[in-house]
Structure 1
Amino acid sequence: MSMQKLLLLFSLTLLVSRSLCVARCYLRPASKYGCLSNRNLYVFGAVWKNEDCFRCRCKTNAMICCSLVLIPKSYDRVNCVGLFHKKSCSIRVVKKTNPEISCSVYNGFG
């Protein structure tokens, strides 16, 4: 299997698995010192973007993190595929046969 086809397959799998996820936010309890995320301690009131494309806020009672990724829902799924870009926290919908060509997306959620 070519590297391009493998990347497209991986991206499609990621897109489908993220689309099945109902919760776009999650909460974790805070400690008396702040919020722990990826081995970093954040003070109360801190806001940051984590490595999984979630915007997090540390409050006195909980850390609240919500996804920054807008997931495309209505597009030509036969001829197009969504490619996840971790650096920009976005999904780009492109032609399966030519990833250089973008597809039209009619709506999404995030």
Structure 2
Amino acid sequence: MRMKTFLACLLVLSVSVEVSNAACYFELLKPVNPGDEIKGCYDSKGELHEFGSQWKTVDCFECSCSREGIDCCTIYSTPVGYDKEKCVSIFNKETCTYEVVEKNDHSKTCPVHEMVG
């Protein structure tokens, strides 16, 4: 029964990720040492987050901690509908946004007609 529930959850997650086009991942909780009580979620920097908490990472992910694990998704949209011959997209990690500018003159922005994520 647990395996069917797990597979159903994976199916729902894979469909929802495909619909949203966001980059997401889920990490199951595991104790730091075998047999230890799980007290929360440890992020990639080793910081402990309480169950039910949310945080943003320096890599532009929004994460949440549940008793099942850590769920993280990107907080930015990626431009895909623009003139790739004339323009280039540049990611700003501080603001977690893309700017689409002309290749030959970065002071000129390009129109974007479609974003994903």
Q: TM-score range by the shorter chain?
A: 0.7 to 0.9
In 2, the alpha carbon distance for the partners of 1:88 and 1:26 equals: 21
Q: Partner of 1:35 in structure 2?
A: 41
| Identical residues among aligned pairs (%) | 35
Mapping 1:1-110, distance limit 5 Å: 24-31=23-30, 32-37=38-43, 38-110=45-117
Code of the residue aligned with 2:25 in structure 1: it is: Y
Structure 2: 5+ residue stretches without partners = 1-20, 31-37
| Structure 1 residue ranges, 4+ long, deviating more than 4 angstroms after superposition | none
Query: How many positions carry a matched residue from both structures?
Result: 89
How big is each residue's C-alpha offset from its partner over 1:8-42, in whole Å with a ceiling of 9 and x where there is no partner?
Answer: xxxxxxxxxxxxxx761000112411111122110
Name the larger-Rg structure: 2
Q: TM-score, normalised by structure 2?
A: 0.72
